[in-house]
Structure 1
Amino acid sequence: MKRRIRAIILMLLLFAGILIPTEYAEAVTGEEYDIVINNGTIMNPSTEHQLEGYNLAIEDGSIVRITKDEIKGKKVIDATGLIVAPGFIDLISYEPNSVGIPLKILDGVTSNLLMHGGTENAEAWYKNWESRGLAVNYGASSFITRMRWPIVGSSIYATMTNESDIEKLIAAARKNIEAGALGISFSFEYVPGIQREEVISLLHLAKEYDVPTFYHLRYSSSEPPNHGPKGIEEVIYYAEETGAAIHIMHINSTGGTFYMDEALQMIEDGVANGLDITTDIYVYDGWATYLSSARFNEGWQERFRITYNDLQIAGTEERLTKESFTKYRAIAGVLAYAHGSMPEEELLMALKSPYVMIGSDTIISGGNDHPRGAGNYARLFGRYVRQQKAITMMEAIKKTSLMPAQRLESVAPAMRRKGRLEVGADADITIFNPETIIDKSTVSQPSLPSEGVEYVIVNGTIVKNLDGLVKNVKPGQPIKSYFVDKSEENQPIPYNIILDATELIGTQDAYQLNDIVYLPITALKPIKKSLRVEANGEIFIDENIKLEVGNGSAYDGEVLMSLSHEPILYKGQVYVSLKALMEVLSLDYDVEAEENNLFLSTTDRTPAVDKDEADTEEKEEQEENKEDIGEDGRPSYFFMIAIAILLLGVAIIPYNRFKNKGK
C-alpha cells in the first residue's frame, strides 16, 4: 500500500511539473550551485550595474547566474551590507612570496602580475610557480633589464647600439612572449643605458604581437629640462613611431610629480590622436626605493624637493641624516620611504582621469617595504572613496579590476574573463564592507594587514572567509600569452533583424549559451522609440514595457507577463534570449525566427472589438484569476496544492474501489 501511495504521489509531482512553468519549478526544487552569494550589492564595472537584492551563483570556477530568484548552494555566503566586486588585479606587482601573497589577499587582490619587472625566462618562471601553486593568479612580462645582461653586461649604463646585439635582444623577447610572457617592461630611470635604438626595435615586436609595453619613465625630476613631462614625451614618441600600446607605471611618482595636470593632458591628447596609452597610480603621498639606486644620484634633494630627514628606512622608525644616508647608500637592498614627495592634490587629480588605473608597485617581502604592498587597495576604498569621496565606488572598482584586465586582453585570453561580474566570467570575487574597509600598514609597520575585506574567491575557491585566510588552497592559475593559452572563447553569431521581409534594420552579435541563443538588448534600439537600461537592473522599452536583469517576469503596462529566460549580464552588455526577445516583440509585431534571421511583420493583428468592452472583460478575468495567480504572474502555492489534492483524489478513489472489489 505504502509503495503504491508513494508511486501515486511521485506521478502527481511529475504531472504538476507539467503545469508549473519551468523556471518556477527550478526555483522551487532548487538547483544546487557550488557557491551562492546572497543579498550583497553586486557591482559589475563592465556594464556599470549596481544590483541590490540579487544573488550570484558560481559553478566550476565560473559565474553562471546573477538573479533575483532564491537559489541554493553547497556553500552560501550571506553578503548583506557588503559590496560584491570583481577581484582586484594588481598589474604592477613583483615576484610572489609567502609573506606578500597572504597580505595581497587580505587587501582584496586575486591576481598578482609582474608588469614592473617580470622574467627573462617565461618558460621556467611559469613552470616553477605551476609546480608550487599559489592562492592567487599570476603572470609576468619580459624584463628587459635582465634580458640585456647576457648581451651587454649588467651595468645600468651599458648601451646597445650594435645591430646584431639588438637582434639578439629582439629574439630573446620574442621567445619569451611565445613562452607566455605578457608584455615588455622597461625601467629607464634605473637603467639609463637603455636608449632609442633598442626601444624602437622592441616596440615593433610589441606591435607585431599586439602586446602592451610598460615603462618606469626616465625622468622624475621636478626641475626642467629633464623633468617628468619629458619622460612622458619620450614614450609618447615611441608610441607614435611604432603604434605599440604603452602603459606608464605609477605616474604620480615618476612623470607626473609636480606636473600632474600637464602629464594627464599629454596622455589625453595622445589618446585623442589615436594612441593606445594608459597609466596607473598607487594611493600614497610618498614613494620608496632603494638608496643604492640611480634615483639617488647627485642632486636628488633638488629633483624631488625633499631632504635627508624626509627619508625613513621602511620597517623602522629611523629618519635619515647626511651621515646615515651615506652609510645606507653603500649597502644594497636598503629601501627608504620619501615622506611628502608627492602632493596629495595631484593624486586626487589623477584618480579622476579615465586613463588612470590602480597598481601597488610593491609586494611585501619581510619588513623593509613600502606599506602600499599590504594596503594599497583597502586604502583606496577606505580613504578616497568612503572618507574623501574623491571618486565613486563604481569608478574605484573599475580602476582596480576591469581596467587592468582590459590592459592585458590583447595578449592574455584569460583576462577577457576577469575584472567583471557577468555570466561566464571567472569567479574571481572580492567581498568587502564599504563601512570598515581600510589600510592598516604604515611606513614603520608595512606588513600590517588591511581590514574590511570579508571574503576573497579565486577561480571559484574561497581563499579568505570571515575566519581569515583559508589554509592549503591554491586555486591560482597562470595568466599567459595567447601563444600558450589556447582556451577557446565563445564566438559571436551574426544575427539579422529584418522588417516586413525586405528591410534589414540591424545585425547583432548573438551568442549561444547552454543551447540558448542570446541577443543584446540593444538589438531593440532600431525598432523601438526608446530603450533605457538602468544601473539597478531595470530595463524600460517605450516606457510601457519593463524588464529586469535576472528576473523571469516582465511588465507590459500594468500587466505581468512571464519570459522564457531572465535577462543576463554578458560580454559587457545586457543580453536577452532569442525566445524572450520574441515574446517582447510579439506585443507589437508578428515575429518569426529562421536560421540566423529574426523576421518582424507590422501586420495589424489587433481584433476589431470595442475597447471599453475589452477592458471590462479583461478586468473581470483578472479578478477571477487573482486567487490562482501569484504577484509574480506564476501559479500560487494554494492553486498548485488544490490541483495536487484534486489529482490525488482522482487517483486514490479508483484504487480503493479496486481494493474493495478484491475483498
Structure 2
Amino acid sequence: MTKQNEQYDIVIHGGRVMDPESGLDAVRNVGVKGETVAIITEEAIDGKETIDATGHVVAPGFIDTHSHGQDAFAFKLKLRDGVTTPLELEAGAYPVDDFYNAFEGKAQVNYGATVSHAFGRIAAMDGVDPKGFGLYGGAINAAATDGAQWHEKTADDPEDLKKILSNVEAGLNQGALGIGVPIGYYNKITSAEIYAVYGVAKRYKTFVGSHVRYMSNIQPSGVLALMEALSDAWVQDVPLLIHHIHSTSLGRTREALELVDKARERGLNVITEAYPYDYGSSIIGADYLGPGFQQAMGMDYEDITYVKTGEKMTEQLLAKYRSGDPGGMMMMKHMKEPDVMAAMKHEGVIVGSDSMPFIDEDGNIPAGDAPFGTGQGHPRGAGCFARTLRLVREKDLCPLMTAISKMTYLPAKWLEEFAPDMKRRGRLSAGAAADITIFDPETVTDNSEPVAGKMTLASTGIPYVLVNGTIVVKDSEVLKDVYPGQPIRNAVRS
C-alpha cells in the first residue's frame, strides 16, 4: 500500500502549508498518524477525520519560551492563541519534580521549565517550599515574613551559596531544561553568585535564561546588565537566552540588539526574545520598582496598575502593596512602540509572551472551565501570538514565514540541544511531532485588552490546533477532557 492509499487518523486538506525549516510554502494535504506527521503531499489522501483548511495557513504549533501562566485556564487561552508548547524558562520552577508531576496526564499542551535560581534561593534562605510553582501559592509573600532573605541577603557565607547551588543542581538532576535566573527581581545579589550559577550551567552543559539585573535607561542601565549576562556566558561558554530584551533595555533597545548580534558573530550561543506590547507586567515587589524608578524607566506612579483591584498607583499605594503583597501582580506602561517594533522585527529575535497568571477578584487563578473574559492580568497571556500575526498583516512587521519561524522553528532549534524532543517540534514535515496550528492570515487577531472584562478574551482566526496528533481546538472551541500534552524535559539524572 502506498502512502497515498493509506488511511490516516487525521487529514488536513487543502491548506497553505508553511514550514520554516524547509521553506515549503504551498498548498498541500497533511496526513497525521498517531502523534506524528506522516505525509505532506499534493496527492489526495484519506483520513478517519478530515479538516478543510482551504484559505488557511497550516503551520507548526507555536512555542512560547516565556510563559509564567502554567494552569488550565492559562493553557486554554494559549491554545486559542495557537500555542502548543508554553514553557516557563525565565522564572523557572522549584522543585522541578513537583512541576512536572503536576501536569502528567493532565495537560492539554506540552509543558516544561528551567530550574529557578530565585525559588531555589527562597528554599535555601527563607525555608519556604515553592512546591514547583513559585508564582503560585504565595511563596514570595511567605518568604517576606522573615524579611525575604532570598531578596535581601547576599550569599557571603559559603554555606549559603552551597545550599543555593545545591538546589539548582537538584533541579537539573530532575530534568530541568536549564537554569532560570530572573536577577532583575533580586538585583542586590553579588556578581560572584551569578558567576557561580553560570558555572553550574557549564558543568551540566545547559543554558541560562536571564531576566537581566537592571531595567533602566540610565546607569546602571539595562544595557549594562545585558553586558554582565553576556560576559558571564562568554567567559564560561554557557548558552544564553535573554528574555524580553526591549523591556529591560527600553530606549536603548537597538544598542542591546547590536550587542547580542556581535556576541553571536563571535561565537556565543545566544538568543533573545520580545513580545508585541509597549506595557509589561510582573510582581509589584520587583526591585526595579524601588526608589528612582521614574528616572530609570521613564514612567510615573500612575503608569503602574495593581492588577487585583485595578488601582493606579500613588507613592503611598505602591509602598503599601510592595510591603504587604510583594508577590501581587501589576501592569506598567514603560516602553515605547518604536523600541518594541525594533525588537520584534530584528532578525533572530523570537516571540516570548512573558504571560503572567491571571487572577480573579479574590486573587485566585480562574478555574480551567471559567469563561473567557474572566480574571485580570496582562492581555499578552491571551493574545501575544495572534497579535504578532495581525501586525504582520496590518503593519508589515515582517514576512509571514519569518514570523512563523520566530514562533516555531527558531525556538525549537535553539532548545533541541537541551531537550532532544524539540528536534521533532517547530517543524511541519514528515516525521515531525503533529503539533499543528491552523489560522486564517486575513482574520487572525488578538481580542484581549487592558480593560476589565477584556483581559482574557480569546484570540480568533485560529480554528484548529493539534497537540501530538490530537485535535484540541476544533471550530475555535477548546475541547474538554483531552490531555495530549507531553513533558519537554532534559535527561533525568540519578
* TM surpasses 0.5: yes
Q: Distance in 2 between matches of 1:324 and 1:122?
A: 35
Match of 1:277 among 270, 278, 303: 270
Letter in 1 for 2:274: I
- Counterpart mapping for 1:572-651 below 5 A: none
Q: Which residue of 2 aligns with 1:452?
A: 461
Question: Is the contact between residue 314 and residue 446 of structure 1 (CA under 8 Å) also seen in structure 2?
Answer: no
Match of 2:86 among 112, 118, 123: 112
Q: Distance in 1 between matches of 2:408 and 2:493?
A: 23
Q: Distance in 2 between matches of 1:379 and 1:315?
A: 25
Match of 2:433 among 426, 437, 441: 426
SS at the partner of 1:437?
Answer: coil
Q: Once superposed, what is the RMSD of the aligned Cα atoms? A: 2.0
C-alpha distance 252-201 of structure 1, shift in aligned 2 (>3 A): same
2:100 counterpart of 1:126: yes
C-alpha distance 187-364 of structure 1, shift in aligned 2 (>3 A): closer
Letter in 1 for 2:265: A
SS at the partner of 1:474?
Answer: coil
1:337-371: CA deviation from partner (whole Å, max 9, x where unpaired): 223x2111112211222231011111442233111
Match of 1:78 among 52, 76, 84: 52
Tell me how far 1:324 sits from its aligned partner: 4.1
Q: Distance in 2 between matches of 1:143 and 1:301?
A: 29
C-alpha distance 171-334 of structure 1, shift in aligned 2 (>3 A): closer
Q: Which residue of 1 aligns with 2:108?
A: 135
Which has the bigger relative contact order, CA under 8 A and spacing at least 6?
Answer: 2
Q: Distance in 2 between matches of 1:180 and 1:126?
A: 9
Give the unaligned 5+ runs of structure 1. 1-21, 486-663
Tell me how far 1:90 sits from its aligned partner: 1.0
SS at the partner of 1:306?
Answer: coil
2:280 counterpart of 1:287: yes
Question: Is the contact between residue 69 and residue 75 of structure 2 (CA under 8 Å) also seen in structure 1?
Answer: no
For normalisation by structure 1, the TM-score amounts to 0.66
Question: Is the contact between residue 290 and residue 336 of structure 1 (CA under 8 Å) also seen in structure 2?
Answer: yes
- Counterpart mapping for 1:400-419 below 5 A: 400-419=407-426
Q: Distance in 2 between matches of 1:149 and 1:263?
A: 30
Letter in 2 for 1:480: R
Question: Is the contact between residue 213 and residue 225 of structure 2 (CA under 8 Å) also seen in structure 1?
Answer: yes
2:80 counterpart of 1:101: no
Letter in 1 for 2:155: M
Q: Distance in 2 between matches of 1:147 and 1:330?
A: 22
- Counterpart mapping for 1:274-423 below 5 A: 274-314=267-307, 318-332=311-325, 333-339=327-333, 341-366=334-359, 367-382=375-390, 384-423=391-430
Tell me how far 1:443 sits from its aligned partner: 1.0
SS at the partner of 1:258?
Answer: helix
Question: Is the contact between residue 335 and residue 369 of structure 1 (CA under 8 Å) also seen in structure 2?
Answer: yes
Q: Distance in 2 between matches of 1:294 and 1:172?
A: 23
2:221 counterpart of 1:227: yes
1:175-225: CA deviation from partner (whole Å, max 9, x where unpaired): 3212111000111121124322222222222123221111111111111x2
Query: Which of these two proteins has the greater Rg computed from alpha carbons?
Result: 1
C-alpha distance 62-172 of structure 1, shift in aligned 2 (>3 A): same
For normalisation by structure 2, the TM-score amounts to 0.88
Q: Which residue of 1 aligns with 2:372?
A: none
Q: Distance in 1 between matches of 2:444 and 2:165?
A: 45
Q: Distance in 2 between matches of 1:429 and 1:180?
A: 26
SS at the partner of 2:428?
Answer: coil
C-alpha distance 327-170 of structure 1, shift in aligned 2 (>3 A): closer
SS at the partner of 1:137?
Answer: coil
Aligned residues, how many?
Answer: 454
2:13 counterpart of 1:47: no
Q: Which residue of 1 aligns with 2:145?
A: none
Sequence identity (%): 34
Tell me how far 1:273 sits from its aligned partner: 1.3
Q: Distance in 2 between matches of 1:263 and 1:446?
A: 30
2:147 counterpart of 1:147: no
1:552-605: CA deviation from partner (whole Å, max 9, x where unpaired): xxxxxxxxxxxxxxxxxxxxxxxxxxxxxxxxxxxxxxxxxxxxxxxxxxxxxx
Q: Distance in 2 between matches of 1:277 and 1:81?
A: 37
Q: Distance in 1 between matches of 2:315 and 2:232?
A: 39
